[in-house]
Amino acid sequence: MSSPKTQKNDASVADFLAAIEHPTKREDCIRLSNILTEITGQKPAMWGDSIVGFDTYHYVYASGREGDWPITGFSPRKQNLTLYIMPGFDRYTTLLTKLGKHKTSKSCLYIKKLEDIDETVLREIIADSVAYMRLKYPKKR
């Protein structure tokens, strides 16, 4: 079994965020990093060359493929800020109606900029998602 291509690494999150060219996107990413640090109680880490991840969980698929992935995180993509909400969005239907301008896919929340959304609602979604993932994937002691 091959391991996932995107791995946690020792690259500097601060350098990555400082290198974001667009000033609004850079400020939004710094703000998001602070919000996720506060909610998770964890320092950010780079995953691959463009994902800022927080905490980790270990997954094993029925196929036998397994790996580690951030419990939550984000990536400043060209079109959107992508936030990783690992449980998906079925449990957040009501909250999403209050969030503001966004799109979703399986476990990605896409926003253009933080001012387009309600930060209190975003924090609630992230906090619930982190708590859910920590219950579903407890750390092995």
Average pLDDT over residues 93-110: 97
Q: Which top CATH class is 8-136?
A: alpha beta
* Other beta carbons less than 10 A from residue 118's beta carbon: 13
76: confidence class by pLDDT, cuts 50, 70, 90: very high
Average pLDDT over residues 49-72: 93
- For all residues of the chain together, what is the average pLDDT? 94
**Confidence check: pLDDT of 64 > 90:** no
- What's the pTM? 0.93
pLDDT score recorded for residue 2: 55
Higher-scoring residue by pLDDT: 139, 81 = 81
What's the token pair of residue 32?
């998001």
CA-to-CA dists, residue 101 to 43, 98, 124, angstroms: 28, 9, 16
